[in-house]
Amino acid sequence: MDFSEFATICNRLEDVPGRIDMTAIVREALEAADEHDLSVLIRFLMGRIFPDWSQEKIGIGPNHVYDAVGYVTGKDRAAVIREVNKGGDPGRAVEHLLARKEQTSFFTTPLTLGEVYQDFTTLARIEGSRSQKEKLRVVRRLFANATPLEGRYLARLMLGELRIGIGEGTMRDAVAAAFGVSSERVEHAYQAANDLGEVGVLARQGDEALAEVRVELFRPVKMMLAKQGTIAAMLEETDYLAAEYKYDGTRFQFHKKGGECRMYSRKLEEVTGAIPDVVEMLSAATPHDLILDGEVIAVKDGRPLPFQYVLRRFRRKHDVASHIEEISLVPNVFDLIWIDGETLIGLPFGERRKRLEEAVSDFVAPQLVSGDEAEIEAFYRGALDEGHEGIMIKVPTSEYTPGVRGKDWIKIKPAVDTIDLAVIGAEWGEGRRARLFGSFLLACNHEGTLIPVSKVATGFSDEMLAEVYELLKDKVVSSEGKTVYFEPELVFEVGYAEIQKSPNYEGGFALRFPRFIRMRDDKGVDEVESLALIQERFTRQSSM
Ligand code: AMP
C-alpha cells in the first residue's frame, strides 16, 4: 500500500464525525489491504507504531521532526516552530511547509506503508553516541519523500498524536466487520495477544485462528483494573467474594522462563533492571515457567511505606544496589495469568487462585473468601490498621480481563479528604481548553505568607473552567512561559487521597490525586489551611 493511500484514508476519517461512518471507512481499508500491510495499517490507523506489548519506541521528539522538516524545506527550527505555534498542530504546520517546498523539488520516490514502518523500526533500533545524527538522517529522508498530506500524518504518527479518533473499540468492530467474525472474538483475542495488528491478520484467517490466540511469555498483557464500589452492593450480585488487601505500591507483571525473568510495569515497560531484588525473590519462589500479576510495596519495620518510595526504585536505572538496602521491596502476588504453556485468563478467578497457591511458595497475597458483609468489613479495618490502602474485592467466578476496568474487581478505600487552598498561579490548558487556564497552583498559609503545596488539574467541568477564567483573567501579575501568577483572591476546596512529603513544593508537602471540588467564594485567602495543620494531617495519616 502506498503511504499516500494511508494519508488519504486518514484525511477522510478526520472529516467524518460519526463512529458508524468511521468504522465503515476503516473496514473498507482493511478489506483492501494486502496480507503484509494489514497489521501495520491497523496499528497506524490507531496512531500506534509497534504492538502494545512491544518495548520498541522510535524515540523521536518534536525537535527531531522540526529540524528534519526545516532541513527539507530550507528553514531553521525556529521558523518551523513559529509555523506550529500558529495553529498548535504540528501535522498541519508540516503539511503547510512541505506544500510550499514542493514546487522546487523534483527527486522524490513515493513512500509505501511498509517502507515507513521499516524506517520506524530502524529508528527504534538506532543506538549509541551517533544515534541522534543517524535518527535525523532517517527522519529527513522520510519528509523529503513525503507529499504535504503524507507529511501531516507522518509528523503526527512520529509525535504519537494522529488525531483521527480511531480507538480500540472502533478498530475492533471494523476488524470484525471486515472479516466476518464477532467483535467479542476479536476482543478476546486482543486481550491475550495485546496487538490488534496481529489479531487483524488472524481474523482474516477466520474464527478458528482467532480462538487459538494464547498469551505468550515476554509479551506483557494489559493489567486488569478495578472500579470503586461497596461490599454491600457486591454481595447483592454474588453469594461470596474474594477479598485481598489493597497494597499501595506499584503494579507489576512478572514473566519467567527457566532462569530468564522479566518484570513489567503497569505501563508494560520493562523494569527488570530497576528491581533485581524483587525479580530474584519471585524467581526463587517457583520452579514453574509463569506469568504473575501483583503489586510491589516498600516496607520498613514490617509496615508499608507510602507508594512514592516504590516509584523511586522503579525509576532508578543507576546505582540500583545501594538503594536496595535503603528501601526493601516486597512483592504481593494476586493472580496467575499463564503457566507452563497454559493460558489461564479464561478460567474463573477461584481456579486461578488455586493454581497460584500450588505454583508459588511465597509472596501470595492473603485472601479472605466470604459471603458475610461484617466479616469482609472486619478484614477491611484490619487492612487499614496494618497501613494498607484498603481492600480489593473480586468475583471468584470472573475471568481475567486485561485492560478492562469492570465490575469484577472493586476497590474499597476510605473517602477522600478535602482541604481549602489559595489559587496563586495557573498554566494554560491544552486542546479545546487552550484558551483557558488548565491547571492551578495552590498554596497554604504559613504565618501570613502563601506557600505552594500542590497543583490541581482535574475535577473541573468546562463551565467551571470558563467561570474561573473570568474571575482570574484580570488578576495576572506576571507570567513565565506557560505559567501565570495571580494576585491571590480565590480559594479552592480540593479533594485528595493522601498528603505526601515532596521536595517539589516550598512547603515540603504535596497532595496525591488532587481533585477540584468547588470554589469557596465564602472564604478569603487568609482562611486557607495552615502549613502546621497540613503537617498534622500528614502525621495522623502516617500513624493510621
Ligand atoms: P486504583 O489504582 O486506585 O485504580 O486501584 C487499582 C490498583 O490497585 C491496581 O492497579 C493495583 O496496582 C493496585 N492493587 C493493590 N492491591 C491489589 C490487589 N490485591 N489486587 C489488585 N490490585 C491491587
Residue-wise pLDDT for 22-53, tens only, equals: 999 999 999 999 999 999 999 999 999 999 99
Residues touching ligand 1 (Cβ under 6 Å) are: 223, 225-226, 244-247, 251, 295, 334, 365, 392, 411
Using the atom order of ligand 1, give the atom closest to the CA of residue 409.
21
Predicted pLDDT at 326: 66
Centroid of ligand 1 to alpha carbon of 501 (angstroms): 22
Predicted pLDDT at 241: 97
Using the atom order of ligand 1, give the atom closest to the CA of residue 413.
3
- Whether 164 shows a pLDDT value over 90: the answer reads no
Centroid of ligand 1 to alpha carbon of 387 (angstroms): 15
Confidence of residue 153 (pLDDT cuts 50, 70, 90): very high
| Cα–Cα–Cα angle for 103, 104, 109, rounded to 5 degrees | 85
- Residue in this structure with the C-alpha cell 505526601, named with its chain if needed: 500
How far apart, in whole angstroms, are the C-alpha atoms of residue 136 and residue 202?
Answer: 35
- Write out the catalytic residue numbers: 246
Residue-wise pLDDT for 328-339, tens only, equals: 899 999 999 999
Confidence of residue 317 (pLDDT cuts 50, 70, 90): low
Q: What percent of the chain has pLDDT over 70?
A: 95
Question: Atom 23 of ligand 1 has which residue's CA nearest to it?
Answer: 246
Say how many residues make up the chain.
Answer: 544
Residue-wise pLDDT for 51-80, tens only, equals: 999 999 998 888 899 999 999 999 998 899
Residue-wise pLDDT for 234-283, tens only, equals: 999 999 999 999 998 889 999 999 999 999 998 898 999 999 999 999 99
Query: How many CB atoms sit inside 10 A of residue 255's CB?
Result: 23
Candidate ranges 100-114, 379-393, 442-456; pick with highest mean pLDDT: 379-393
| Residue 288 DSSP code | S
Centroid of ligand 1 to alpha carbon of 291 (angstroms): 17
Using the atom order of ligand 1, give the atom closest to the CA of residue 226.
6
Q: Which of 248 and 327 is assigned the larger pLDDT? A: 248
Question: Atom 17 of ligand 1 has which residue's CA nearest to it?
Answer: 246
Region 498-522 average pLDDT: 87
Q: Which of 303 and 205 is assigned the larger pLDDT? A: 205
Predicted pLDDT at 160: 81
460: Cβ–Cβ under 8 A, 6 or more apart, which residues?
468, 516
Asked which of 145-154, 318-327, 485-494 is least confident by mean pLDDT, the reply is: 318-327
Strand blocks (E) in 274-384:
290-300, 303-304, 328-339, 342-343, 367-370
Asked which of 6-20, 105-119, 337-351 is least confident by mean pLDDT, the reply is: 105-119
Candidate ranges 59-63, 137-141, 473-477; pick with highest mean pLDDT: 137-141
Confidence of residue 308 (pLDDT cuts 50, 70, 90): low
Nearest to 52 by CA among 171, 179, 178, 176: 171
Centroid of ligand 1 to alpha carbon of 346 (angstroms): 20
Question: Atom 5 of ligand 1 has which residue's CA nearest to it?
Answer: 226
- Whether 138 shows a pLDDT value over 90: the answer reads yes
Question: Atom 18 of ligand 1 has which residue's CA nearest to it?
Answer: 246
| Cell numbers for 212 | 487459538
Q: Which amino acid is present at 127?
A: E
Rounded (10°) angle between helices 3-15 and 113-125? 100
How far apart, in whole angstroms, are the C-alpha atoms of residue 38 and residue 113?
Answer: 10
Question: Atom 10 of ligand 1 has which residue's CA nearest to it?
Answer: 225
C-alpha count within 13 angstroms, C-beta hemisphere, residue 529: 25
- Whether 543 shows a pLDDT value over 60: the answer reads no
Centroid of ligand 1 to alpha carbon of 75 (angstroms): 50
| Cell numbers for 317 | 536505572
Residue-wise pLDDT for 181-239, tens only, equals: 999 999 999 999 999 999 999 999 999 999 999 999 999 999 999 987 889 999 999 99
The rounded mean pLDDT for the chain is: 91
How far apart, in whole angstroms, are the C-alpha atoms of residue 198 and residue 210?
Answer: 10
DSSP 104-157: T-------BHHHHHHHHHHHHH--STTHHHHHHHHHHHHHHT--HHHHHHHHHH
Stated pTM of the model: 0.78
Nearest to 50 by CA among 269, 225, 251, 205: 269
Predicted pLDDT at 434: 84
* Contact criterion met (CB below 8 Å) for 436 and 429: yes
Asked which of 96-100, 166-170, 526-530, 540-544 is least confident by mean pLDDT, the reply is: 540-544
Predicted pLDDT at 322: 63
* Contact criterion met (CB below 8 Å) for 272 and 261: yes
